[in-house]
Chain A
Amino acid sequence: MLNRTNLATLLVVLAFLAVPMAATWLGTNYVITLATRVAIYGIVAVSLDMLVGRGNLVSFGHAAYFGLGGYAVAIASFHLANDVPIFGWSGTNEALIAWPLAMAVAGLAALVIGALSLRTAGVYFIMITLAFAQMLFFLFVALKYYGGDDGLSLSTRNLFAGNRITDSRTFYWICVSALALCVLLSWRILNSRFGMVLRGAAASERRMAALGFPVYRYRLAAFVIAGMMAGLAGALWANQNRFVSPDMLSWVRSGEFLVMVIMGGLSSLVGPVVGAAAFLLIESYLSGATEHWQMIFGPFVLLVAVFAPRGLWGAVRGKDRQ
């Protein structure tokens, strides 16, 4: 059915498909670089929305999993470049190994942090997720061996199934495919039995417990899934920039992720991606004009909050049923 929502979704898909052509037409690769970042941040935003929008779990530490994914790839690459590969094994330069590894590391951290944080609720949950993320941030600042404050450079991008992915278009398609996979997966998950429990618990936790759902376990699983997606995004980010730094895990970054999700539209699959795009486009445009771009961006976010309480995507969808 071609209602406003489907039409807008189609436009978003077409926009992603048209990026390489637009780059050729405009004669600049910057469009591709920017769109690649949109895809990567889009993955983070979609994963965060699963927690904030669907689970009513406001995680203020989502950058931790993003950063861990990045560091997992960078550290493996660092050891390879210095001829001390982890376990003496050189397979870690293969994306199909390094990226799942990054997801596993991020997922494991999410398991531990989630297991502790999810025992709290509301404001305490926000504060404790933030506190854990800050602990990891300072851990990487202190890790001088891996660059500490200065971060860590990757000598090359990973190989993807044995192929080089240094070409910006090739890398763009990889990132867009990863985003598409994450959106599709989230869509299936949120409508599955698991998703119904997660969303039902957000609507009425007491009810779900009284029906016999051990809500905590389902929330923890969602926390791990979201952490793994953010870890994948971090691995992609590290490859795009061939650089990681503690900044990836900072609380400012966590806040930006939340702004993307809320500005784009909570509890909508495409909304967070639109939010990530809006954030990065505005940042890119305004920061070219002035160093104090946030002076303009702040009021913009405020306007969205006042006039489009369901976010940009909610405004686009209009009165379409949820």
Chain B
Amino acid sequence: MSALQLEGLRKSFGSLRATDNVSLGVEDGECHAVIGPNGAGKTTLIGEITGEIAPDAGRISLFGVDVTSWNVPRRALSGLARSFQITQLAPGFTALDNAAFAVQARQGHSFRFIADARKDKRLREPALAALEQVGLADRADRNAEALSHGERRQLELAVALAMQPRLLLLDEPMAGMGPEEGARMVEILRGIKRTMTIVLVEHDMDAVFALADRVSVLVNGAILKTGTPREVRDDARVRDAYLGAGAH
């Protein structure tokens, strides 16, 4: 059974075909990278997978269940976690609070009105474990907006991990990171990659080739090629459309 299955997905904005008949299968347990030049439709594709954008046509299945008509929270609760390209943390809340939100979400409904959530061990302990996983435990009580850019990217990942997802969708986790921070993120991702299915949307080719089992190349809204990193790197059309185009 594939973790994620896209079938004939289409989405247009006016005359722009942002997603053009995309079919894609992500196997359970694999790390599948999606690369493509700016404007290739990566963001739209992520929106369609998470449920923020409704496709014009096509089907989306998560672990064999058709979720095309499901909204964002329902897909999240079925095991899909995502990180945001532009960090979406809750300002005014600490790093630990932000991770605790994710733990709370998977512990059933939150119509609990009296007990103090910040003193709830069932929330705080798993949240702290997620921060430890990305090396942020010593920043637990720091407000999210007071963290450095790299730390915020790490927290973004910790929040997704705290959801204990079956499928992790990472939207440019290295965006805006320096080489050192980027290398560290690759190490963290390498550590979690065997424990869950990952869809990695990333610009950083070194990271993609270091982590991905398979790579899909998106150009003008359509999948140009899917294969192992080596196959993709050696493909003449990919080089024309993307690797070459990415150079300027």
Which of A's residues lie within 8 Å of B, judged by CB?
188-189, 191-197, 199-200, 203-204, 206-215, 218, 221, 322
Return B112 CB to nearest CB of chain A, in Å: 4
Q: How far is the CA of A193 from the CA of B113 in the complex (A)?
A: 7
Q: Give the residues in chain B near A211, CB-CB below 8 Å.
A: 73, 76, 101-102, 105, 159, 163
B246 at the interface (CB under 8 A from A): no
Q: Judging by beta carbons under 8 Å apart, are A209 and B88 in contact?
A: no
Q: Judging by beta carbons under 8 Å apart, are A192 and B116 in contact?
A: yes
Q: Give the residues in chain A near B50, CB-CB below 8 Å.
A: 210
Q: Can you offer 26 A-B residue contacts whose CB atoms are under 8 A?
A: A188-B113, A188-B116, A192-B115, A192-B117, A193-B104, A193-B110, A193-B115, A193-B120, A195-B113, A196-B110, A199-B90, A200-B90, A200-B93, A206-B84, A206-B88, A207-B84, A207-B88, A207-B90, A209-B76, A211-B105, A212-B163, A213-B101, A213-B105, A214-B73, A214-B74, A322-B92
Q: How far is the CA of A8 from the CA of B102 in the complex (A)?
A: 35
Q: Judging by beta carbons under 8 Å apart, are B105 and A194 in contact?
A: no
Return B3 CB to nearest CB of chain A, in Å: 18
Q: Give the residues in chain B near A210, CB-CB below 8 Å.
A: 50, 72, 76, 81-82, 84, 88
Q: How far is the CA of A46 from the CA of B90 in the complex (A)?
A: 23
Q: Give the residues in chain A near B116, CB-CB below 8 Å.
A: 188, 191-192
Q: How far is the CA of A212 from the CA of B159 in the complex (A)?
A: 12
Contact status of A212 and B90, CB under 8 A, knowing A189-B113, A192-B117, A195-B117: no
Mark B156-177 against chain A: 1 for CB-CB distance below 8 A, else 0: 0001000100000000000000
Q: Give the residues in chain A near B104, CB-CB below 8 Å.
A: 193, 196-197
Q: Give the residues in chain B near A322, CB-CB below 8 Å.
A: 92
Secondary structure type dominating chain A contacts: helix
Q: Judging by beta carbons under 8 Å apart, are B91 and A203 in contact?
A: yes
Q: How far is the CA of A206 from the CA of B116 in the complex (A)?
A: 24
Q: Give the residues in chain A near B89, CB-CB below 8 Å.
A: 204, 207
B13 at the interface (CB under 8 A from A): no
The residue on A at minimum CB distance from B118 is A191
Return A216 CB to nearest CB of chain B, in Å: 9
Q: Give the residues in chain A near B71, CB-CB below 8 Å.
A: 209, 214
